[in-house]
Chains A and B, each alone.
Chain A
Amino acid sequence: MGRGLGTSDDEKWRLNLSRVAIALAMASSLGAWGCDSEKRTVDATAPVTAPTGRSDPRLPAYADNKFQQSQGGLYFTWYGCGQCHSQSAQRPQNFSTANFRYGGDIPFLYQSIADGRAGGMPAYKDRVPAQQIWQMASYVKSLPKTNQYLRRREDLDQKGQPTGTTWSGAVR
């Protein structure tokens, strides 16, 4: 709080409309920006098939949605993806930059996870349901934009989560 410069007074100040307008505009644009990415779909309408391409109508619900990304991160941990794609892995396997070799949009990422890629990436479509691959693709898509410290912070919070076969009980 302002202190010191004290018991001041009066003098009529003109209503600074421009400043008020700018502030309001900023606040509302920030608000509008927040909505879609904040949506949380938890009912039974999850996708059970692969994306059909870049115009798949289901894409917007997954592309930048924070909830789906977060769920994807959870499964990324569960299925042990971090064994090859941890934050400390080599670029580009750690997904810290956006130069994905097979494309960085969800349909391509989905394909990489589901069908595997040459050079050691196995196919997961028989092991992981479609909905979770969607979510993991969304997560991977978000990683280059994620602050590295924040990614590490999230990983640490999930340290107790089962990581594939290495999980051995609660964090002590």
Chain B
Amino acid sequence: MSEETPAFRVVGDVSALPDYAFGPRSILWWGNSAFMMIEGTAFVLAAAAYLYIRGKGGHWPPPGVRPPDLLWGGLFTAGLLLSELPNRWLQAKTRQFDLASVRFGVLVMTLAGLALAGVRAVELSHINVRWGVDAYASCIWLLMVLHTTHVVTDLGDTAVLCLWMFTHQPGPSQFSDVNDNCSYWTFVVVTWIPIGFLIYLGPRLL
């Protein structure tokens, strides 16, 4: 049993390796993905709770309650899906370190996020039922609050990135940050498809 550390024999040098990376080669991408996994699990469980309570039978929605209005929900859904176009474009530009396009892109995404948050605010007043009425209402609001939190969080993130990109000289890792933020927005868009279905079409179809 050795009392001293074993000797090291240097057999190579890593100083020539790049000092940044995109996507799965970057540490932060993995962190981002892991948190998306955690939040995705929470979404799935919230949806499961909705379906469990729905599965108890009875009226859905309860008598006297109108399902959430389709107009504002539809508008939000359309806007959210459309926002994925500039988002994709922006993500591609970050890999080219194209500062002008990236600045333009994050500005567009910030404005899109603000507009969508505005629509969401109106949408919340067209759910047509308060969460404290019964379990149906609680389930709808649970999903709504969960998703809205994500919209607002990512909007905040995008806005701060936007401010930073306009005021500073970004290095490669900052482009990588914008790249990750684009992935996160995609997560927000994709999760809305089942969640929106449960909120808007669930009471009508299920």
Query: Which of B130, B164, B173 sits near A149, CB closer than 8 Å?
Result: B130
B84 interfacial contact with A, CB 8 Å: no
Cβ-Cβ contact count across A and B, 8 Å cutoff = 40
**CB of A8, distance to nearest CB on chain B (Å):** 9
Give the residue name and chain of the B residue nearest to A156 (CB): B134
Cβ contact within 8 Å between A3 and B176? no
Number of interface residues of A (CB under 8 A): 11
Apart from A3-B181, A4-B161, what are 11 other A-B pairs with CB-CB below 8 Å? A3-B31, A3-B35, A3-B180, A4-B32, A4-B158, A4-B178, A5-B160, A5-B164, A5-B177, A6-B180, A149-B132
Question: Top 10 closest A-B pairs, CB basis?
Answer: A149-B132, A4-B181, A6-B177, A4-B157, A7-B173, A3-B32, A4-B177, A6-B28, A1-B35, A5-B177
Summarize B's interface: helix, strand, loop or mixed: helix
Number of interface residues of B (CB under 8 A): 20
Q: Which residues of A pack against B, CB within 8 Å?
A: 1-7, 149-150, 152-153
- B159-206 CB contacts (< 8 Å) to partner A: 160-161, 164, 173-174, 176-178, 180-181, 184
**CB of A9, distance to nearest CB on chain B (Å):** 10
**CB of B25, distance to nearest CB on chain A (Å):** 14
Cβ contact within 8 Å between B157 and A5? yes
Give the residue name and chain of the B residue nearest to A1 (CB): B35
* Sample (21) of A-B pairs whose CB atoms are under 8 Å apart: A1-B35, A3-B31, A3-B157, A3-B180, A3-B181, A3-B184, A4-B157, A4-B158, A4-B160, A4-B178, A5-B157, A5-B160, A6-B28, A6-B176, A6-B180, A7-B27, A7-B28, A7-B173, A7-B177, A149-B132, A150-B132
